[in-house]
Amino acid sequence: MKNPEIIVIGSGIGGLCCAGLLAKAEKKVLILEAHSKPGGAAHSFKKNGYKFESGPSLWSGIGSWPTTNPLGQVLKALNQKVEIIKYQDWGVQIPEGDYTIGVGDKVFIEQIRSISGRDAIKEWENFIKVIKPIGVAANAIPLLAINSNKETIFQLIKRRKKLLKNLKSFKYLGGAFGKLVDDHLQDPFLRNWVDLLCFLISGLTKEETNAAAMATLLDDWFKPNAYLEYPKGGSESVVNALLRGIYSYGGELKLNSKVNQIIVKNNKAIGIELENGEKILSNHIVCNADIWNTIELLPKDVAKIWSTDRKNIPKCKSFLHIHLGFKAEGLKNIPLHSIWVDNWSKGITTDRNVVVLSIPSTLDPTMAPANKHILHGYTPANEPWEKWENLKIGSEEYIKTKEERCSIFWKPIKKIIPDIEERIEIKMLGTPLTHQRFLNTKNGTYGPALSAEDELFPGNNCPIKNLLLCGSSTFPGIGIPPVAASGARTAIKILGPRFQRNLINELGI
Ligand SMILES: Cc1cc2nc3c(=O)[nH]c(=O)nc-3n(C[C@H](O)[C@H](O)[C@H](O)COP(=O)(O)OP(=O)(O)OC[C@H]3O[C@@H](n4cnc5c(N)ncnc54)[C@H](O)[C@@H]3O)c2cc1C
């Protein structure tokens, strides 16, 4: 593309949602992606007919309309559909035993009964009653409708009845979830379970996770007939749907195009320089890289105080990964997801204490060759970078440490597939160094470790004119729905209040 009006650095879900709306508004948008695959944390890769996933496995709110999920809203705005497979159940292997849990009101209640008894059910039902209005309040105004502009005032006035009705719950939205849990849940299993869910969505404990995010999630997951959505074909299908939308409006994506520097003149971003020295100028730059990588793209002398402050934002820990391709003959009732917790008393953030396993080919046979399965396992944001920073990929010590640390996966995998070792055709282990390399996140982090107790995630502004940010380092935070919202809000910031109003009217949200 010649003379793009806007360059988006990075094709994570945030960057793609931003680029999609910019392209829809007839802006000439060029996305520059360092990796050979689009999608960032949500990219997929193929090997011997297996389709492996690098990140998200839990999706919802993208396959049907209306939806409160900002990603579903952006897909709709781009006229794109993602085929989904509905499911409800997960396997859990926790210190109390092995159970099927999942979403919806029935199965979980049955499991609370068998784990903790009747009183705990009452506690849970009361808790959900307390949480529900907070979830409703969080959904009373869509994230796409709020931005720091005059249209937001109009949107607030338009929704005043709904907002006033839920006024009492608004005080909870900006804070942490922990206090609500402490006030309403005493049962140890329920407290641990909520702590685990908080950790899985934010990389932080319940004391630090945002209450609005958890209230919407619990309200959504534990309502009658709730279901989750697996995108048929995996994360790649979501990324491809966003790309189809972008291309349909004339936007472009360039892979293997690592940006080395954002060119700044008189405190104004005017273009970028690629690793190969090529310079591309544009009116606006949006950076979807994490905040630590973004700062490294800026000339050292610009916005010094801002960049030092942001650089010092604490990071969530990293990941260990295991990818397996294996023979499926004779395997029955394999859970799509399994979550394993070794010991609640160690604390949910302790390294190698929690493992998530995902075997999407149980639900979607297109993910693996016939009669084969794929498995992606990871330790969610609990692997310390410090254990890896001085190791060299390929060195003897690295290989030994990798085998040792990743041995944590075998116990939960063997519980589901006892003879897994005889079935394996492909095995790949990943460490924080691999995560950093392929997901392009600093130190392989999940994102900023910002406690909701102290502050919200920073917005998409930066002191350099014509440079905006989006993605998991910006408001509303980490995870697919928040980064989609962040990308959309950044596009709206560039396009202005009229685009915002038209979009909201068009979507009817
Ligand atoms: C293992 C794992 C499991 C997860 N599970 C879930 C889940 O089940 N549900 C959920 O909602 N969320 C989940 N998440 C979180 C979610 O996937 C991420 O928060 C989200 O995808 C991040 O999107 P982003 O827009 O911030 O960009 P990222 O995905 O971080 O992408 C940023 C992009 O920018 C590119 N880039 C960086 N620097 C440059 C440069 N200099 N030049 C060019 N390109 C550059 C990178 O290559 C990358 O493609 C999971 C994450 C991981 C890692």
- CATH code: domain of residue 14: 3.50.50.60
Same domain, 198 and 109: yes
> For ligand 1, is residue 11 a contact (CB within 6 Å)?
yes
Residue with tokens 């319940």: 206
> For ligand 1, is residue 486 a contact (CB within 6 Å)?
no
Q: How many domains does the chain have?
A: 2
Same domain, 33 and 111: no
Which pLDDT does position 120 carry in this prediction? 97
In a domain, 367, yes or no: no
Same domain, 108 and 219: yes
Last residue of a domain, one of 223, 243, 276: 223
> For ligand 1, is residue 262 a contact (CB within 6 Å)?
no
Give the distance (Å) from ligand 1 centre to CA of residue 446. Answer: 8
> For ligand 1, is residue 9 a contact (CB within 6 Å)?
yes
> For ligand 1, is residue 440 a contact (CB within 6 Å)?
yes
For residues 246 and 58, what is the distance between their CA atoms, to the nearest angstrom?
Answer: 24
> For ligand 1, is residue 49 a contact (CB within 6 Å)?
no
pLDDT digits (tens, 9 = 90+) for 249-291: 999 999 999 999 999 999 999 999 999 999 999 999 999 999 9
Q: Which two tokens stand for residue 267?
A: 């405190």
**Peptide bond before residue 314 is cis, with ω within 30 degrees of 0:** no
Which range among 23-32, 158-167, 231-240, 414-423 shows the weakest confidence by mean pLDDT?
158-167
Residue nearest to atom 19 of ligand 1 (CA): 479
In a domain, 497, yes or no: yes
Ligand 1 atom with the shortest distance to the CA of 378: 1
In a domain, 387, yes or no: no
pLDDT digits (tens, 9 = 90+) for 13-22: 999 999 999 9
Which pLDDT does position 149 carry in this prediction? 84
Last residue of a domain, one of 192, 223, 254: 223
Beta strand segments in 390-435, E = 424-430
Question: Who's near 246: CB < 8 A, 6+ residues apart?
Answer: 16, 19, 20, 23, 29, 31, 78, 252, 253
Last residue of a domain, one of 172, 189, 223: 223
In a domain, 133, yes or no: yes
Same domain, 137 and 215: yes
pLDDT digits (tens, 9 = 90+) for 420-440: 999 999 999 999 999 999 999
Q: Is the predicted pLDDT of residue 102 greater than 90, yes or no?
A: no
Facing residues of 259 across strands?
Answer: 274
For residues 318 and 435, what is the distance between their CA atoms, to the nearest angstrom?
Answer: 8
Q: Which two tokens stand for residue 383?
A: 């692997």
In a domain, 278, yes or no: yes
Residue nearest to atom 16 of ligand 1 (CA): 479
In a domain, 296, yes or no: yes
Same domain, 217 and 246: no
Give the distance (Å) from ligand 1 centre to CA of residue 146. Answer: 23
Q: Is the predicted pLDDT of residue 174 greater than 90, yes or no?
A: no
Same domain, 259 and 214: no
Give the distance (Å) from ligand 1 centre to CA of residue 163. Answer: 33
Do the beta carbons of residue 59 and residue 85 sit within 8 Å? no
Same domain, 202 and 277: no
Nearest CA to 259 out of 239, 240, 229, 279 is that of: 279
Same domain, 29 and 139: no
In a domain, 218, yes or no: yes
Same domain, 109 and 219: yes
> For ligand 1, is residue 15 a contact (CB within 6 Å)?
yes
pLDDT digits (tens, 9 = 90+) for 60-77: 999 999 999 999 999 999
In a domain, 377, yes or no: no
Same domain, 203 and 302: no
Same domain, 214 and 246: no
Ligand 1, from 286, 483, 490: best to mutate by most atoms within 8 Å of Cβ? 483
Ordered DSSP codes for 132-163: HHHHHHHHHS-GGG-SSSHHHHHHHHHTHHHH
Give the pLDDT mean for 41-50. 97
End-to-end alpha carbon distance in the chain: 34
Give the distance (Å) from ligand 1 centre to CA of residue 42. Answer: 6
State the residue range of the domain holding 74.
6-44+65-82+232-314+450-507
> For ligand 1, is residue 280 a contact (CB within 6 Å)?
no
Predicted TM-score (pTM) of the model is 0.97
pLDDT digits (tens, 9 = 90+) for 360-383: 999 999 999 999 999 999 999 999
> For ligand 1, is residue 58 a contact (CB within 6 Å)?
yes
Which pLDDT does position 459 carry in this prediction? 94
The better pLDDT of the pair 167, 407 is held by 407
> For ligand 1, is residue 99 a contact (CB within 6 Å)?
no
For residues 385 and 444, what is the distance between their CA atoms, to the nearest angstrom?
Answer: 7
Q: Is the predicted pLDDT of residue 168 greater than 90, yes or no?
A: no
Give the distance (Å) from ligand 1 centre to CA of residue 185. Answer: 33
Ligand 1, from 21, 33, 256: best to mutate by most atoms within 8 Å of Cβ? 33
Same domain, 124 and 177: yes
Give the distance (Å) from ligand 1 centre to CA of residue 424. Answer: 28
Ligand 1 atom with the shortest distance to the CA of 446: 53
